[in-house]
Amino acid sequence: MAAVTTGKIARKYMAHFLDSGSLCGGTSGYERLGKDLEEYNVELNPDTETSKNIIGESTFKHNGYEVSSEADPYYAEADSVLSQKLQEIVDNRYTDDNLKTNAVEVHMWKEATSGAYEAYQQECYVTPTSYGGDTSGYQIPFTVNYVGERTKGTYNVETGKFTAATSKYIKHREIGVKQWKN
């Protein structure tokens, strides 16, 4: 895909991949989400507070994000590793670390370098919310709950490999300073 240089970015250029292979302790392997999805939003769910003191001053506190997304509908396919892993979770009623994997968000509207696009990887938990469906096909919709810090890097869509950037973004929470370190 070519990079978009001007104008509105088409939705297909914001790609979402799940490491479906590592769910339930398997071997890593990413699958792109979206084949049957008309919409997929990553909800930031900011935890904010505003208050007003007795002298009329307003304050605002931002306590972070509880990031999640919904894949609904998700139609199971016989040859999909993600479908097989979701079925395993449903069949065994897995919880906790059996649901843990990685998600990668790929910015395909930006120029690729050696076939790799700018990307962000983050640990997440994949939780099926139901299973069944109607005559259109067997469905296993699920929620993705993102945890921990995002890692910036690149993702090669041909090889399915995420590579972390050599520079690391360090957040000093105790003093609120942000800096790049090589």
pLDDT tens-digit series, residues 69-93:
999 999 999 999 999 999 999 999 9
Q: What is the percent of the chain where pLDDT is above 70?
A: 88
Percent of the chain with pLDDT over 90: 84
Q: Give the largest Cα separation in the chain, rounded.
A: 64
For residue range 115-143, list pLDDT tens digits in order. 999 999 999 999 999 999 999 999 999 99
Residue 49 contacts residue 61 (beta carbons within 8 Å): yes
CA geometry: angle 68, 69, 75, nearest 5 deg: 145
73 touches 87 (CB < 8 A): no
Q: Return the SS3 of 135.
A: coil
Q: What's the confidence (pLDDT) of residue 25?
A: 85
pLDDT mean over 44-68:
96
Q: Work out the number of other CB atoms within 10 angstroms of the CB of residue 182.
A: 5
Q: Mean per-residue pLDDT for 5-24?
A: 92
Query: Which contiguous run of DSSP H or E holds residue 31?
Result: strand 30-32
Q: CA-CA distance, 129 to 43, in Å (whole number)? A: 17
Residue 149 has pLDDT above 60, yes or no: yes
**Which 3 state secondary structure label does DSSP give 97?**
helix
Is pLDDT above 60 for 171? no
pLDDT confidence of residue 129: 98
Question: Is residue 73 reached through a cis peptide bond, with omega within 30 degrees of 0 on the bond before it?
Answer: yes
3-state secondary structure of 82: helix
Given a cut of 90, is residue 103 above it in pLDDT?
yes
State the Rg of the chain over Cα.
Answer: 19
Tell whether the model's pLDDT for residue 174 goes beyond 60: no
CA distance 163 to 9: 24
- pLDDT at residue 173 greater than cutoff 50: no
What is the per-residue pLDDT for 167?
Answer: 61
